A = this chain, B = another copy of it.
Amino acid sequence: MQIKQLASFTGVSAKTIRYYEDISLLSKAKRGDNGYRYYDDQDVSLLKFIRRCKELRIPLADIKRLVVVQSSGNDPCKQVDTIIFQQLEKIRIAQYELHQLEQNLKTLANCCKHERIKDCAILKHLRSN
């Protein structure tokens, strides 16, 4: 199949697929005589795998490691484990930060009395101290 079909099967745009090849997340695709890239079912599986990792917001560098590691079948899966746990940790930290942020923004939003700019309580707050 051609690149656009791979794209529609996996939900990853053709542009992105080429980009993944560029950064060697995908290996070089076979080319036809016309220079077009051609793909098969294995490529579909791999890209779907990648897309799922992306949905978990795993960075491409880590996804690459997950892709590579799959060909070393007898090794322990510690690396996989670690990547997932680190990702979970990152998400939890981000959640905490967002929670703090939400509190601050709520306070700020609530102090708005629809004044004019020169009396705006939000701006005063932001300028204070």
**Distance (whole angstroms) from the CB of A89 to the closest CB of chain B:** 10
Question: Given A53-B126, A95-B98, A117–B84 Cβ distance below 8 Å?
Answer: no
Are A45 and B112 also in contact (CB < 8 A) when A72-B117, A105-B84, A105-B87 are? no
Tell me which residues across on chain B come within 8 A of A95, comparing CB atoms.
95, 98-99, 102
C-alpha gap A98/B94 in the complex (Å)? 8
A: number of interface residues (CB 8 Å): 50
**27 chain-A/chain-B pairs, Cβ below 8 angstroms:** A49-B126, A49-B127, A52-B126, A56-B108, A70-B117, A70-B123, A73-B116, A73-B117, A74-B116, A75-B117, A76-B114, A76-B117, A77-B116, A77-B117, A77-B122, A78-B114, A81-B109, A81-B112, A84-B105, A84-B108, A84-B122, A88-B102, A88-B105, A88-B109, A91-B102, A94-B98, A95-B102
Closest 6 A-B residue pairs measured CB to CB?
A73-B118, A77-B120, A88-B105, A95-B98, A84-B109, A75-B117
